[in-house]
Amino acid sequence: MGDSFILTGGKVLDVDAGILRDGVEVLVEDGRITGVAGGRIERDGARRIDLVGRTLMPGLIDAHVHVIATLVDLAKNAELPSSLVALRARKIMAEMLGRGFTTLRDLAGADLGLKMAVDEGLIEGPRLVICGKALSQTVGHCDYRGRNDRRPLHDGSLGSLGRIADGVDPVRRAAREEIKAGADFIKIMANGGVASPNDPIHVLQYSREEIRAIVEEAENYGLYVSAHTYTDASIRRAVECGVHSLEHCNLIGADTACLAAEKGAIACPTLVAYEGLALEGAAFGLSADSQAKIETVRSAGIESLAVMRDAGLPMAFGSDLLGQLHKYQSMEFKIRARILSPREIIHSATRVSAKLCRMEDEIGVIAEGAHADFVVVNGDPLVDISLLAEPDRGIAAVIKGGKFFKDELGSVVA
Ligand code: ZN
Ligand code: ZN
């Protein structure tokens, strides 16, 4: 039997209604929520934990991270020993948990071993939803080779985010291999990117035939495809080919956003990635070519939030930071607040992100049967989103699976 306790005295944030509820008690047993009641819960042996003056909300979900990206320079990262990358990833994950993120969707690199290590309790970290290696074409967003480097890419090391596969049959095989290795979804690079050397932002990557083949392989296994995509043309093509999860979307137009919404796709903006790279990317080894690409997507990214909201395209919450820039993760809340309401942002970081994890009833919600993942906030995040953006000040406790990973409550009642 695991720990059992009752969370009482605080306000409980209903992320669907976007309101705080008074007088609600939450019972946690064996890592799950086993009771939510608008009155006193009695349970023998359960401690009562007083949250007076604070807000209880579901644990946050970051739906776009790279926990094995331990360096901004991804080519160098791929050359690090896998054991070192795993141990650094452990630290990156523990820090994310401390910021209130109890689940992460990793968008390239994290493998089944890291996921199992978390689930076994071997390392302290958020739950992981993984895609294994991202699929990239030659001269795509995961091809970090210099122009004159014709050596084949070896993609076995943990520090490499992607693998190269070209042609319909090879991409089918690559997708199947990632599924076999434990992928929860398949990630493809469908557009140019900032951190890779030879692909300007606007270039389309993969043919329609290749994308459709990957989508078919994923769907055959009951999974979906996620695509790295910035430009309107790239996003439209991805949607038309059946891609479900649209990463970044900085340059999306209204018509494409409406089409994506109609098709049931979900976007995952990652705006802090560009702020982080603009602030310190150069200092951590981002090449001059890559630095020049940042502005192409940075300011448009802010505008894209309004375009997608107005089109009714659901947005998950992503950060997409690399290496030394992970410390900026929670700044995503503040950047989004320039356009979106705290309620909308919190809904993204809970309900919408849970959908992309395919764990809708299990995470991102305070309901019976869900994992006991919570953040206890020192105030009302629906009024002041900076409480989540500045977790050292704003977050008093982080609970994952009924276990406290941060506890500054000092309020256990017998
Ligand atoms: Zn990307
Ligand atoms: Zn990414």
- Please report, in tens digits, the pLDDT of each residue of the chain (414 residues total): 468 999 999 999 999 999 999 999 999 999 999 999 999 999 999 999 999 999 999 999 999 999 999 999 999 999 999 999 999 999 999 999 999 999 999 999 999 999 999 999 999 999 999 999 999 999 999 998 889 988 877 778 999 999 999 999 999 999 999 999 999 999 999 999 988 889 999 999 999 999 999 999 999 999 999 999 999 999 999 999 999 999 999 999 999 999 999 999 999 999 999 999 999 988 988 888 888 889 889 989 999 999 999 999 999 999 999 999 999 999 999 999 999 999 999 999 999 999 999 999 999 999 999 999 999 999 999 999 999 999 999 999 999 999 999 999 976 544
Task: Render pLDDT for 312-359 as a digit per residue (tens, 0 to 9).
Answer: 999 999 999 999 999 999 999 999 999 999 999 999 999 999 999 999
CA 343–ligand 2 middle distance (angstroms): 25
From the CA of 224, how far away is ligand 2's center (Å)? 17
Cα 286 to middle of ligand 2, angstroms: 15
User: What is the distance between the alpha carbons of residues 369 and 11, in angstroms, rounded to a whole number?
Assistant: 20
Global pTM? 0.97
- Which segments within 124-184 are labelled E, that is strand? 127-129, 134-136, 162-164
d(CA 375, CA 203): 41
CA–centroid distance, 385 to ligand 2, in Å, is 24
Which residue is listed with tokens 């970081």? 349
Distance CA 68, CA 74 (A): 10
- SS3 percent helix, strand, coil of the chain, rounded to 5, is 35, 25, 40
Which ligand has its closest atom nearest to the C-alpha of 228? 1
Rounded to the nearest angstrom, the distance between the alpha carbon of 64 and the centre of ligand 2 is 6
Dist. CA 386 → ligand 2 center (Å): 24
Report CA(180)–ligand 2 centroid distance (Å): 22
CA of 252 to the centre of ligand 1 (A): 15
Output the CA 194–ligand 1 centroid distance in Å: 8
- pLDDT tens digit string along 263-314? 999 999 999 999 999 999 889 888 888 888 898 899 899 999 999 999 999 9
C-alpha 229 – ligand 1 centre gap (Å): 7
Cα gap 237→235, rounded to integer Å: 5
User: What tokens were used for 302?
Assistant: 């802010």
> Which residues are registered as beta bridge partners of 266?
245
Instruction: Tell me, in angstroms, the distance from the centre of ligand 1 to residue 72's CA.
Output: 13
How far is it, in rounded angstroms, from Cα 59 to Cα 371? 9
- The first and second tokens of residue 2, run together, are 């695991």
Ligand 1 mean position to 28 CA, how many Å? 37
Centroid of ligand 2 to alpha carbon of 410 (angstroms): 38
Q: Which ligand is nearest to the CA of 297?
A: 1
- Measured in Å, residue 98 CA sits from the centre of ligand 2 at 21
Q: Where are the alpha helices (DSSP H) in 263-341?
A: 272-280, 288-311, 331-336
DSSP state of 152: P
Identify which ligand lies nearest to the alpha carbon of 190. 1
Nearest ligand atom owner, CA of 62:
2
Candidates 291, 292, 271; CA nearest to 281 is: 291
CA of 138 to the centre of ligand 1 (A): 16
pLDDT at 412: 53
DSSP 196-262: SSS--TT-B-S-HHHHHHHHHHHHHTT--EEEEEEEHHHHHHHHHTT--EEEEEEE--HHHHHHHHH
Instruction: State the pLDDT at residue 48.
Output: 96
CA of 15 to the centre of ligand 1 (A): 28
The token duo for 295 is: 């502005």
Q: Output the CA 198–ligand 1 centroid distance in Å.
A: 15
The CA 134 to ligand 1 mean position distance, Å, reads 10
For position 292, what pLDDT does the model report?
Answer: 85
Q: How far is the CA of 237 from the centre of ligand 1 (A)?
A: 16
For CA atoms 289, 295, 296, 297, the dihedral sign is positive
Q: What is the predicted pLDDT for the residue at 403?
A: 96
Q: Count Cβ neighbours within 10 Å for each residue of 334-372 and write b for 16 or more, e otherwise.
A: bbbbebbebbbbbbbbbbbbbbbbebeebbbbbeeebbb
Q: Which ligand is nearest to the CA of 320?
A: 2
Closest ligand to C-alpha of residue 64 is 2
Task: Calculate the CA 338 to chain-centre distance.
Answer: 20
How confident is the model at residue 414, as a pLDDT? 42
- Alpha carbon of 29 to ligand 2 centroid (Å): 35
Contact 261, 311 (CB under 8 A): yes
Burial class of residue 14, CB neighbours in 10 A (0-12, 13-18, 19+): middle
* Burial class for 252, CB neighbours closer than 10 Å (0-12, 13-18, 19+): buried
Ligand 2 midpoint to CA 30 (Å): 34
8 A C-beta contact, residue 327 and residue 75: no
